[in-house]
Amino acid sequence: MRHLGIVIGGSAGGLEALTVIFSALPDRLKLPILVVQHLHPHDDGLFPQYLAGLTKIPVRECCDKEQLCPGRIYTAPANYHTLLERGNFISLSVDEPLNWSKPSIDILFDSVARCWGEGAVAVLLSGANEDGAAGLLAVKDRGGKTLVQDPQTAISPAMPAAAIARGGAGEIHSAESLGEYLRELNASISENRIRLELENER
């Protein structure tokens, strides 16, 4: 059985979009959410602290070899690439930056495409470079759902525009619409589906 999960990537202007999206989420989440945001090298955990102030959903920074659990939000730490591995485990890498970024959106999205396949929902937000465009296309090619923030509503439109140009954007939404989409997706997920996923990991 394929895992179900949400992965969100953003850069310049992404924090503002995340603020809107997270305000729309319910208090009880049925899926895991992975968030990779381009961070200052000396973020020191401030990003997950900020997100935790927006929602009652538990938020934590990813740890190496940690297994994802439904109902939690996980953030990629500064200075590490974050990857998803088979069995819903997290792997952290100290490889060189990609697209001048570490953490890289492309690296996480590509690993999610391989692990979650058609069970992935990938969201690309505002940003000033092209990181995430290739990874989003990888998710789409594996049958996952791909959503992009409308460049006209993004503070930095380059990143979502690059994803659209490469053909990776399945749908284009405002930040408000993305929040509503994820809220409705969460409501549609069967509790039995989540239980079966957990049982398959034992």
The yes-or-no answer on residue 173 being catalytic is no
Question: Where along the chain do its domains lie?
Answer: 5-200
* Domain range 5-200, CATH architecture: 3-Layer(aba) Sandwich (3.40)
Q: Which of 3, 11, 101, 110 is catalytic?
A: 11
What pLDDT does residue 4 have?
85
What pLDDT does residue 43 have?
81
What pLDDT does residue 42 have?
80
Other Cβ atoms less than 10 A from the Cβ of 170: the count is 15
Strand intervals (E) in the chain: 5-10, 33-37, 59-61, 73-75, 81-85, 89-93, 120-124, 145-149, 171-173
Q: Which of 38, 126, 150, 173 is catalytic?
A: 38
From residue 196, how far is each of 69, 145, 153, 160 by CA, in Å? 13, 21, 38, 35
What pLDDT does residue 99 have?
79
What pLDDT does residue 132 have?
96
**9 phi and psi, to 5 degrees?**
-125, 140
What pLDDT does residue 1 have?
43
What pLDDT does residue 81 have?
95
The yes-or-no answer on residue 131 being catalytic is yes
The yes-or-no answer on residue 81 being catalytic is no
Is the C-alpha dihedral spanning 2, 146, 54, 76 positive or negative? Answer: positive
5 strand-pairing partners: 120
Which letter does DSSP use for residue 67 in this model? B
Q: Which of 3, 131, 156, 173 is catalytic?
A: 131
pLDDT tens sequence for the chain (202 residues): 456 899 999 999 999 999 999 999 999 999 999 999 998 888 888 999 999 999 999 999 999 999 999 999 999 999 999 999 999 999 999 988 787 788 999 999 999 999 999 999 999 999 999 999 999 999 999 999 999 999 999 999 999 999 999 999 999 999 999 999 999 999 988 765 555 555 555 4
In whole angstroms, give the CA distance from residue 15 to residue 148. 15
